[in-house]
Chain A
Amino acid sequence: MTYIGIIFTYVFVSNLVLTQFLGLCPFIGVSNKTENAVGMGFAVMFVMSTASLITWAFQHFVLIPLNVVFLQTVTFILVIASIVQLVEMVVRKTSPPLYKALGIYLPLITTNCGVLGIALISVNEDYNAVESFLAGLSAGLGFLVALLFMSAIRERLELERVPKYLRGTPIAFISGGLMALAFMAFDKALLANIIGA
Chain B
Amino acid sequence: MEDFLRIFGAVASTSLFAALLGFGLAIAAKKFRVVKNPTLEKISAALPGLNCGICGYTGCEAYAEALSLEKESDTRKCRPGGQATIDEISQILGIESSAGTKRMVARLACLGGTGIAVQDFSFQAYEDCESLKLHFDGDKGCKYGCMGLGSCIKVCPVDAISKTDNGLVEVSAARCIGCELCVKVCPSGVMKMIPADTDFFVACNSRDKGKLTKALCSAGCIGCRICEKKFPESGFQVEDNLASLNYNKKDNEGRMEAAQACPAKCIIQAGSKTLLKT
* Listed stretches A19-27, A77-85, A139-147, A169-177; interface member: A77-85
Q: Give the A-binding residues of B (Cβ under 8 A).
A: 10, 13-14, 17-18, 21-22, 24-25, 28-29, 32-34, 124-128, 131
- Cα of A85 to Cα of B25 in the assembled complex, Å: 8
- Cα of A160 to Cα of B125 in the assembled complex, Å: 7
Q: With both chains docked as a complex, state the minimum distance between the C-beta of A167 and any C-beta of chain B, in angstroms.
A: 11
Q: With both chains docked as a complex, state the minimum distance between the C-beta of A23 and any C-beta of chain B, in angstroms.
A: 23
The verdict on A75 contacting B127 (CB below 8 Å), with A70-B10, A82-B24, A82-B25 known, is: no
CB within 8 A of A89: which of B32, B124, B128?
Answer: B32
Judged by DSSP, the binding face of B is helix
Please state if A71 and B131 are interface contacts (CB–CB under 8 Å). Answer: no
Q: Which residue of B lies closest to A81 (CB)?
A: B21
Q: With both chains docked as a complex, state the minimum distance between the C-beta of A98 and any C-beta of chain B, in angstroms.
A: 13
Count the A-B residue pairs with Cβ separation under 8 angstroms: how many? 42
Please state if A68 and B32 are interface contacts (CB–CB under 8 Å). Answer: no
Across the interface, which residues of B come within 8 angstroms of A85, CB to CB?
A: 25
The verdict on A93 contacting B34 (CB below 8 Å), with A74-B14, A85-B25 known, is: yes
Please state if B32 and A93 are interface contacts (CB–CB under 8 Å). Answer: yes
Q: Give the B-binding residues of A (Cβ under 8 A).
A: 68, 70-71, 74-75, 78-79, 82, 85-86, 89-90, 92-93, 159-161
Q: With both chains docked as a complex, state the minimum distance between the C-beta of A77 and any C-beta of chain B, in angstroms.
A: 10
Please state if B124 and A78 are interface contacts (CB–CB under 8 Å). Answer: no
Across the interface, which residues of A come within 8 angstroms of B127, CB to CB?
A: 159-161
Q: With both chains docked as a complex, state the minimum distance between the C-beta of B249 and any C-beta of chain A, in angstroms.
A: 42
Please state if A159 and B32 are interface contacts (CB–CB under 8 Å). Answer: no
The verdict on A71 contacting B10 (CB below 8 Å), with A159-B127, A160-B126 known, is: yes
Across the interface, which residues of A come within 8 angstroms of B128, CB to CB?
A: 159
CB within 8 A of A161: which of B10, B17, B32, B124?
Answer: B124
Across the interface, which residues of A come within 8 angstroms of B14, CB to CB?
A: 71, 74-75, 78
Q: Which residue of B lies closest to A86 (CB)?
A: B28
Please state if A79 and B10 are interface contacts (CB–CB under 8 Å). Answer: no
Q: With both chains docked as a complex, state the minimum distance between the C-beta of A101 and any C-beta of chain B, in angstroms.
A: 13
